[in-house]
Amino acid sequence: MKKIFALLGFLLTSILLPGQNLLLSSPLEIPLVLSGTFAELRSNHFHGGIDIKTQGRSGLKVRAVAAGYVSRISISPYGYGNALYIKHPEGYTSVYGHLNGFSTEIERWVEEQLRDRSKNNGNLYPSKESFVVQREDFIAFSGNTGGSMGPHLHFEIRDSRTEEPLNPLEFGLTVLDSRPPSLRGLMWVTQDFTDRGNFKDGDTLDLRALNIGVPIGINLYTTDKQDGANNNNGVYKILSSVNNDAVFSAEYRRINFSTSRFINAHFDYQQYYASGARWTRLYELDNNPLKISSTEETIFPEFRSSKGWITVAKDSLVNVTILVTDHAGNKSNTSFYILGSPMDSTFRTGLSWDQMHTLKEDKIRVSIPSGAMYRNTNFKLVKKGQGKYLIGGGDVPLQKSIEVTWKLDSIQKGGFGWFAWVEAESRKQRAEIAKRTGDVLTFSTRNT
């Protein structure tokens, strides 16, 4: 029996998280009911905080969660809208987003600053002495500004040194929650991504009958609800084990804005493209630097696991258990079996994700930089008709933009005001024009 410990991504995170030295008071005067939790799976990013319901209305008083000073005020029609940032001496920054307005003193200063700059939006940075606040001081009114879809308070706690968002629920905020997470779907997928299927709790996945001779990964569709609302929010921890040995875990405690786009490697983008649901991968793709998840390299006579991918020995039967926990400690689990089949070591891998590639088809040339794909991928370049090409496919997410060079014919060269679309299986993705030189059009695009 041999067991090799590999990446333990959140071990250092759990040591370095300093949340225990700061307990927060509530930012609102009403019970906290959540419409969104920390690190929820969103489009191209993890949710950086919690969304707190405001009883369907704007204008609730927002209060400082701890002593500190206002370090930044943001006024924008996008994103967090009107937002306020407070730095705390313990090394944290609290963020309050989608505000309708500020306290009288802050509001007056903001108006003066914007008037002096002849602007109606922007980032303002008061001095440390300008707005010193104490715990529970009134600072703003809740609202619906920026990219909000309805009245609520977006609240964050960040590490002031790194600007990384931390899970606010680890700082003593009280959210009533007696409801366990929902396990809404299980899916298996082959490591070459050519085959997949759904199954249920208690099932036996017979790889022999399916003629599958490659490692498989498990996708999980899970959500969580707290008391007081029926929003399908995110979970806190996921643990996958084979014969009681952990092979994959994820813990949503800290995120990094610079790597947040790698969320497209954390959930199954192909399934999202097909169904609109974000299924968490209980395995890791090669191009995935996220520290949210960790895996254990495990070798036993019955099975082996590498980066969460499971290989079961021929005719061996193993038990897989998945445990999901929310922040309140409520748990849900599911269990199933996998029956192994002979392995085929020659399965298809596609273009290497860590190399540059150039594809050509008719008048089109596609340049794919190293690291653009999250895994080795069978990347498509197919002519679909006059002036139409399929590049990649809508279900192939890209971390970096690819460059497309198109030699135009005499009809396409006419006119001006050029723009282009990349068609990916009936979905149109807008491209960013870089340049047109003579009869050659060059643009970059990514489909997420």
Are 201 and 336 in contact by the 8 Å Cβ rule? The answer is: yes
Structure-block tokens of residue 290? 């996220």
Lowest mean pLDDT among 211-215, 303-307, 334-338, 365-369: 211-215
Confidence of residue 12 (pLDDT cuts 50, 70, 90): very low
Q: Does residue 120 sit in helix, strand or coil?
A: coil
The region that residue 130 occupies, defined by phi over 0 for left and psi between -120 and 50 for alpha, beta otherwise, is: alpha
The domain over range 18-171 is classified in CATH as 2.70.70.10:
yes
Highest-scoring range by mean pLDDT, 97-106, 361-370, 414-423? 97-106
Residues with Cβ within 8 Å of residue 293, at least 6 apart in sequence: 9, 10, 248, 249, 250, 266, 284, 308
Cα–Cα dist 365/376, whole Å: 20
Tell me, rounded to whole angstroms, the distance of Cα 387 from its chain centroid. Answer: 35
Q: Does residue 308 sit in helix, strand or coil?
A: coil
Lowest mean pLDDT among 153-162, 314-323, 374-383, 401-410: 401-410
Which has more confidence, 424 or 103? 103
Cα–Cα dist 161/178, whole Å: 35
- What is the model's pTM? 0.88
Average confidence (pLDDT) over 344-363: 86
Structure-block tokens of residue 425? 């299986």
Question: Looking at residue 448, what is its pLDDT?
Answer: 63
Which has more confidence, 206 or 413? 206
Cα–Cα dist 324/126, whole Å: 43
The beta strand positions in 252-400, using DSSP E, are 280-281, 293-295, 297-299, 303-306, 309-312, 317-325, 331-339, 357-361, 364-368, 380-385, 388-392
Angle at 46 between CA 263 and CA 196, to 5 degrees: 40
Residues with Cβ within 8 Å of residue 155, at least 6 apart in sequence: 27, 49, 50, 51, 52, 65, 94, 95, 96, 97, 168
Which has more confidence, 106 or 406? 106
pLDDT higher than 50, residue 411: no
pLDDT higher than 70, residue 186: yes
Are 49 and 154 in contact by the 8 Å Cβ rule? The answer is: yes
Ranges of H-type helices in 192-262? none
**Looking at the chain, which residues constitute the CATH 2.70.70.10 domain(s)?**
18-171
Question: Looking at residue 201, what is its pLDDT?
Answer: 87
Task: From residue 415, give the alpha-carbon distance in Å to each of 301, 422, 432.
Answer: 68, 20, 18
Are 367 and 399 in contact by the 8 Å Cβ rule? The answer is: no
Closest listed residue to residue 38, CA positions, set 184, 164, 148: 164
Ranges of H-type helices in 231-296? 263-266, 269-275
Q: Does residue 355 sit in helix, strand or coil?
A: coil
Element counts in the chain: helices (H) and strands (E): 4, 37
Residue-wise burial string across 209-247, b where 16 or more C-beta atoms lie within 10 A, e elsewhere: eeebbbbbbbbbbbbbbbeeeebebbbbbbbbbbeeebb
